[in-house]
Structure 1
Amino acid sequence: MEELESAIKPILAVLAATGIALLATLVLRLAVNHVFRRVPDFKSRSASATAPVFVVMLCVGLRIAMASTMSGQPWFAPVDFILVAGFIAALCWLVLAALSVAERIVLRQFTGRVTDGRRRRRLTTQVTLGRRIIGALVITLAVAGLLLTIPEVRTLGTGILASAGLISIVAGLAVQSSLANVFAGVQLAFTDALRIDDVVVVEGLWGRVEEITMTYVVVRVWDERMLILPSTHFTTTPFENWTRNSPKIMGSVELDLDWHTPVSELRTHLHGLLASTPLWDGRTGKLEVTDAVGGLVRIRVVVSATDSGELWDLRCLIRESLVGFIQTIQPASLPRQRWEMMSEPREHTPQPAAAR
């Protein structure tokens, strides 16, 4: 009878701990949803944290139940060690899930209120990178906590601390480049030098910043390629940021034409074209003669657009329209080269004296 009771007690303890953990998770879930009921989509966005909360509650409940009913059993020590390790891992999982939920809610709240694209990109970059830094610290602490639960590891603590100076020097030399990238990533995010969705020109390629991590930056090039660069590249190498202050940008179109080109008619055609296209933002639109040497006249058109993508389309539209206008309306304006044919002078032959 005693053997049967000793076998049933662990089962009953596990069932009771599981039921209490489920009930506590449900109550906590309802309470949190009620507190944050005014936050849009909080219920759906925080659903990913339900599982780690249950695991944490279950580990706590199982350890309390086991300690109160079966602490004298010979298998209690390894089971207790597994429960403690599971609690640390579940707690780390819960913190990471909470950070992810907080990131989504903060970005949803502030990006909806902030209309300035520059501030929105800066907030997205800083919140995302901050979540990753805190997550890395939490994982590091969790691993350290798991190691400290092992008695053999705790006994080595004195020796490890004694040799900490030498270990730190060796580790610093070994991961010098990695640490430099980490600090560079933090510098990029919190000095506002580079933000997610910024338009940049790096390594001679035009692209948009897709992701900023603690060690590298992902740039989506215009042809959908992914350019992955270390964070130190952006702190040690000059690069172009077209959206650093504002996405608005200006660009130019240049044509080499003949001297017979009617500049006033081209200017009138340009103004009509700009007025008819939504790509132009109305800030700058002018046509000027910037050079007139070497047998050709250089026409330069300067226009502006709301962002680099629309500017590219606007420049292509202006170039095609001006070429078509010159070909059909003003063919004499097409660039050409001229040569002048001159006859050789005849040599003067002296006449004889009898013919004079």
Structure 2
Amino acid sequence: MKNEFITVLTDLKNLFGWLPGPVSSILMLCAAGLMAELFSRFFTKLVLRIPGQKRGAFIRTFTMAMQRPVRIMLVVLFVGTALPASGLPYEMIQATTHTLLVLFVLMLGYAAVVATRILSEAYLARINDKNDKDDILLRTHMTQVRMLRRTADLLIGFLTVGASLMTFEPVRQYGLSLFASAGAASLVVGLAARPLLTNLFAGMQIAMTQPIRMEDLIIINGDWAWVEEITSTYVVLRVWDWRRHIVPISYFLENTFQNWTHNSAALIGVVFLYVDFHAPMDRIRERLREIVHAAPLWDGKVFDVQVADCTAQVMTVRVIASARSAMQSWDLRCEIREQIIAFLRDECPEALPRERLAYVASATGQGGMHEGMMLSPPIDRPPPGAYHGPGQGGSAPGTRGQGQGAYQ
């Protein structure tokens, strides 16, 4: 087939025999490139006619993405095949062959990068259709695929540029001599590129060990932030107010941080209420149960109301309720606070916290009592000189002392 192709091009060149030799040779090479272009367009149209909504759609998308690099590689192959029969001078043929070889290597690397991206995006789209966006498996695959894709892009780029440079004789000789004396050179290069290499290997380690994933909710520098993008050297974190933290990727291997969605996106939210000792806990607990059970953000798993603590002034009531994600937990807690505060204000005002100040009379019966003050319950006090030791007398239980307390 190659001989037939060269024969066709030679006959075409003979048709332009009345032109100068270099001009007819260049026209023959242009004809070879045109034939490659026509063949590529014909093959592309055939592929685009493949039916199907899933596989056919993927093949059509892949063909359209690979159309440009494959077309250029076909032109390079056709022109390179026709070049020996062009009749050009030897030096020009050598220079053109070398140029076509470099172009072919670059287009091959570009095609590999495009193919990697198309395949990874198709894989992510397939698993995204089957899973919920808060699913751990989906976010794990997203992180691994994107990290490995960026690593593959870097490796393909290095290999492509290196292969292109190695086609030049001086560079090839330099590379061989560099390998021969790789001791000091590798040390210098390693020290110079240490930050880049550290982040690159950290990115590969994060892709494997998964301390963070795409759309994980973490706390860094006191801010809630979502993992928006993971590159090969840094991580982009999106804060709730749309600020962005740009953090070196090695930070997540060298420092501690909180990941609220590492194993699951679901969270248990906590609401603290501070109420008076007269608060009717049965009514408050029942009202909280109604609020949470009616809330669409509650996932139906965890709910509880407990008196968690108390001070000299108030009781601390802890309300816990679970939600499907961190943002839903935040909104659920806000809704619980808003509705229970309205309930306490309108229907249980005695439960609202208040300040107390007590005045107790002195031993002589003269104290800071004022008219209009509410008297507190009597305070049991022993008579003067009594000792409450075992087996000794004292005031009988229930006996009132002389002192009276008051509060307002």
Q: Same fold (TM over 0.5)?
A: yes
Q: TM-score, structure 2 length as denominator?
A: 0.79
Match of 1:13 in 2: 29
List aligned pairs for 1:98-109, cutoff 5 A.
98-109=115-126
Match of 1:223 in 2: 241
Number of the residue aligned with 1:68: 85
Say if 1:191 and 1:29 are closer, same or farther in 2 by CA, change over 3 A.
farther
Map of 1:118-197 to 2, 5 A cutoff? 118-197=136-215
**Which residue of the partner structure matches residue 400 of structure 2?**
none
Measure, in 2, the Cα distance between the counterparts of 1:131 and 1:258: 59
Query: Offset of 1:110 from its aligned partner?
Result: 2.8
- Equivalent runs, 1:263-282 vs 2, <5 Å: 263-282=281-300
Structure with bigger RCO (C-alpha 8 Å, 6+ apart): 1
Aligned-partner residue type, residue 125 of structure 1: T
C-alpha distance in 2, partners of 1:86/1:45? 22
CA RMSD in angstroms comes to 2.3
User: Which ranges of structure 1 fall in alignment gaps of 5 or more residues?
Assistant: 348-356
Work out whether residues 287 and 299 of structure 1, in 8 Å CA contact, stay in contact via their aligned partners in 2.
Answer: yes
- Identity of aligned pairs, percent? 30
The alignment covers a number of residue pairs equal to: 347
Q: Is the 8 A contact 1:17 1:65 kept in 2?
A: no
Gaps in structure 2 of 5+ consecutive residues: 1-16, 367-408
For residues 272-327 of structure 1, the C-alpha deviation after alignment (integer angstroms, 9 at most, x for no partner) is 11122101111111111011222211111011001111000000111111111111
| Length-normalised TM-score, structure 1 | 0.90
Mark the CA change 1:46 to 1:246 in structure 2 (over 3 Å): closer, same or farther: farther
The answer on 1:297 being equivalent to 2:315 is yes
Which of 93, 97, 100 is equivalent to 2:114?
97
Alignment partner, residue 352 of structure 1: none
- Structure 1 letter corresponding to 2:123: V
- Distance across 2 between alignment mates of 1:45 and 1:154: 35
- What is the CA–CA distance in structure 2 between the aligned matches of 1:67 and 1:28, rounded to whole Å? 29
Which residue of structure 2 lines up, in the alignment, with residue 4 of structure 1? Answer: 20
Larger Rg computed on CA atoms: 2
- Structure 1 counterpart SS, 2:277: coil
Query: Distance between the aligned counterparts of 2:56 and 2:227, measured in 1?
Result: 28
Instruction: Report the CA distance between 1:341 and its aligned residue.
Output: 3.7
1:351 maps to: none
Higher helix share goes to which structure? 1
CA contact (8 A) 1:129 1:186 kept: yes
Deviation at 1:74, TM superposition (A): 4.3
- Contact in 2 for aligned 1:199/1:242 (Cα 8 Å): yes
Give the whole-Å Cα distance in 2 for the aligned partners of 1:335 and 1:275: 26
SS at match of 1:282: strand
In the alignment, which residue of structure 2 is the partner of 1:242?
A: 260
Distance of aligned partners of 1:45 and 1:117 in 2 relative to their CA distance in 1, 3 Å threshold: farther
Deviation at 1:139, TM superposition (A): 0.7
Is residue 2:329 matched to residue 1:314?
Answer: no
- After TM superposition, the structure 1 stretch with the greater mean CA deviation from structure 2, 62-71 or 91-100, is 62-71
Question: In 2 relative to 1, CA 46–257 (structure 1 residues): closer, same or farther, beyond 3 Å?
Answer: farther
C-alpha distance 98-26 of structure 1, shift in aligned 2 (>3 A): farther
The answer on whether the counterparts of 2:236 and 2:247 sit within 8 Å (CA) in structure 1 is yes
Residues 25 and 86, structure 2, Cα contact 8 Å, conserved in 1: yes
| Mapped contact 2:36–2:71 kept (Cα < 8 A) | no
Aligned CA distance change for structure 1 residues 35 and 143 (closer, same or farther; 3 Å): farther
State yes or no: 1:23 paired with 2:3.
no
1:283 is aligned to 2:301 = yes
Looking at structure 2, the residues matched to 137 and 29 of structure 1 have their Cα atoms a distance apart, in angstroms, of 33
Does the CA contact (< 8 Å) of 1:45 and 1:104 recur in 2?
A: no
Which letter maps to 1:289? V
Using a 3 Å threshold, how does the CA distance of structure 1 residues 334 and 319 change in structure 2: closer, same or farther? same
Q: Kindly tell me: are residues 142 and 185 of structure 1, through their superposed partners in 2, closer, same or farther at Cα, counting changes over 3 Å? A: same
Query: Residue type matched to 1:101 in 2?
Result: I
Deviations 1:104-152 (A, max 9, x none): 1111223323458111111111111111111111110111112112222
